[in-house]
Amino acid sequence: AAHAAATSMSARRDVDARHASTSEKDSERKPSRTTTADIASAPTFRPTLEEFADPIAYLSSIEARAREAGICKVIPPRGAAPRWNGEAWRRDDARFETKLQNVHSLSEGRTFQFGKEYTKGEYEAMAKAYEERWAKERPDVDANDANALERAFWDMVETRSEQARVEYGNDLDTKIFGTGFGVDENGEKHPWDFEHLYSHPLNLLRVVEHDIPGLTKPWLYLGMLFATFCWHVEDHFLCSLNYLHRGAAKTWYGVPGSDAEAFENCARATVPRLFEQAPDILHQIVTIVPPGVLVDHGVKVVHTVQQPGEFVVTFPRAYHAGFSHGFNVAEAVNFGHVNWLDFGRRAIDVYSTGSFKRNAVFAHHRLVSRAAETFVEVLGKNARLVKSKAMGAIVSTLRKELETILSDEEIYRASLVRRGLNIEIVQAPNEDDDACCIRCKAMPFLSVVRCKCLPTAVRCLRHAMDACDCAAGERTLEIRVVDSRLRELIKALFFGDGIQTKDDAAKARVDFSANVNRVAVNRAPPPKPKVVLPKPKTVKPPPTRAVLASPPPARIVASKADDAFTARGLPRKRAKCETRRRWTAEMVADFEVAVERLGGVDAATGKKLAEALSAHDVTRDQCASRLQKHREKIKSNADARATL
């Protein structure tokens, strides 16, 4: 079984080794904060051959433990590592530009300048020559010792004890420069080959139709001594998988997603001027905040050294950075499994409302709806799959994500219609034509808003009234996917039924208008109670002696709540009453199917049925009442059969 190899003892030994001095010269120099910081080791996992056969299934199984650290290392079983693609490496006619990095000024956040152009072979020769010169000039530093190189790196970054300028060959398209993954003797790709990973059934990114280099298609990375990848988080808070094909090792640092905001706050406080000049500087991947500084500010940081033939995995919203120990060849790609969906939605919110605004890479709502359609097709062919644990978890998560998206869309659409925007139901554009909102850089899909003065620009529903002075009547709400379509998807994910392939535009318009009225009633704030002014008191004449002699009338004691309402002139509370629900034949049929799927009338509850029938907008009490009638009906039928 998979197990984490890194323990507290090994982490302590690793820290002690990193703190050890290498020479008398080093002991005289003030050490960097990172080399003296207590940084724990990232977890290391060693899967069995059986576990290693399915990458996403295995990564999902270790995610709960690995996500606490943000990054982890996976070491393949003996003899199961991917083969090196020597043929692609020997094709060396394409040239690429490098990025110049001044290691001693990485904490200043300066944009990297372009370096020289190289072929892969020329870059390798340059990188190895640099390593030899650097090692020869520093005989007191063991260039093969990862801890010694780490101390030398952070001494340059934090104390500027010396200067170094290196070149980094990053973001190279594997379609042009070739992938490092080879095939076996039968011509089959390795299960962890990144091209194979993209088409994995559980990778939600496979529904993205167009190629996005580095995200849906892998990128190649050529590094040299001290070549650095600065702190960054993956687009849309996706996971990433990184494999070191050959060459020298890499040192990695990671911050878990739970500490992402703390990391951002620390970075902003450490270099405030950089963030004032460029609020999205972390997305430019040009800044290094020393891990020692992060630890001092209470941010959780982990550390690992990746050797050739090992994978490093980063999980949603985990910041990561690192540097190379010498010339090496690595490859990386993103993937999105079902547990990422919630982070993907949060990424859009951060992009649109947070301090670090950036353009979305793809339309999140398009991906979710298309993934739902794909799984509905699978369930339509084999409805029994919904009962399997793995498929059931995926379908349930997709359904909940769609319900959240539908709820948000209903609220925004109804609000905009009430404000007077025009309505137009249009056909969804091709994926290549998706555009970002001109206000927040999110990429809306289900519906957009256009105005008279900027007819080609789109706005998301959140910023429908921003960016210009057009009145509400000069703006148009373009609905690409109607509410009924989303409800059909939600229903199909639960019952495994098919969905309609086309929408009737006329019927969709009527359904949408009715839904706007329903949402307006359900979401509207309760009316303010009328304030009834108390009647002026009439002054009664003083009572006569006969009245005083009569017994006092019985006091009527009211509750404190009633007294409070009466004192303010407000009507007293009334018992709540719920409008009686009319169950159509379709609703009854869906109700009976849901009862059977939940295990029968004895196992079903009003709450579970309300969740299952959310597409029909029924409450728990309504479902509980219907369930009681259904039980009585079944009992009555059973008694009748017994009598016969």
CB half-sphere exposure, 94, CA atoms < 13 A: 13
State whether residue 283 is helix, strand or coil.
helix
If phi over 0 gives left and psi between -120 and 50 gives alpha, with beta otherwise, what is residue 617? left
Residues 402 and 493: beta-carbon distance below 8 Å: yes
Residues 363 and 442: beta-carbon distance below 8 Å: no
State whether residue 362 is helix, strand or coil.
coil
Q: How many CB atoms lie within 10 A of CB 639?
A: 10
List the domain boundaries for the chain. Answer: 8-353, 364-523, 585-638
The CA-atom distances, in angstroms, between 412 and each of 100, 153, 495 are: 47, 51, 28
DSSP character for 636? Answer: H
Helix or strand run (H / E) with residue 445: none
For the domain made up of 585-638, the CATH class stated in words is mainly alpha
Determine the Cα–Cα distance for residues 338 and 39; give it in Å rounded to an integer: 31
CB half-sphere exposure, 565, CA atoms < 13 A: 11
CATH for 8-353, options being 2.60.120.650, 2.10.240.10, 3.30.465.10, 1.10.10.350:
2.60.120.650
Enumerate the β-bridge partners of residue 246: 329
Q: Please give the full DSSP string across 391-407, using - where no structure is assigned.
A: HHHHHHHHHHHHHHHHH
pTM: 0.73
Nearest to 18 by CA among 33, 28, 29: 33
Sheet arrangement for strand 319-324: 40-41, 302-306, 250-255, 319-324, 228-232
Residue with token string 């944009």: 111
Q: Please give the full DSSP string across 555-607, using - where no structure is assigned.
A: P-PPPHHHHHHHHTTPPPP----PPPPPPPHHHHHHHHHHHHHTTSTTT--HH
State the 10-residue block means of pLDDT for the chain, 644 residues long: 43 43 46 84 96 94 94 96 94 94 87 92 96 92 91 90 92 93 91 90 86 85 96 93 97 96 88 73 79 93 97 96 97 92 88 69 91 83 64 84 91 90 91 85 91 90 88 93 90 70 52 53 48 54 47 43 41 47 75 78 86 82 86 71 54
Determine the Cα–Cα distance for residues 412 and 63; give it in Å rounded to an integer: 35
Sheet arrangement for strand 447-451: 422-425, 475-479, 447-451
Residues 183 and 83: beta-carbon distance below 8 Å: yes
Determine the Cα–Cα distance for residues 349 and 194; give it in Å rounded to an integer: 29
Query: How many residues appear in the chain?
Result: 644
Burial of 397 (0-12, 13-18, 19+ CB in 10 A): middle
What six digits make up the tokens of 144? 């093969």
Please say whether the dihedral angle defined by the alpha carbons of residues 611, 617, 623 and 626, taken in this order, is positive or negative: negative
Q: How many CB atoms lie within 10 A of CB 550?
A: 8
Determine the Cα–Cα distance for residues 464 and 475; give it in Å rounded to an integer: 8
Residues 160 and 28: beta-carbon distance below 8 Å: no
Q: What is the pLDDT of residue 356?
A: 58
Residues 630 and 595: beta-carbon distance below 8 Å: yes
Residue with token string 């907008």: 617
Q: What are phi and psi of 377, to 5 degrees?
A: -60, -40
Residues 401 and 446: beta-carbon distance below 8 Å: no
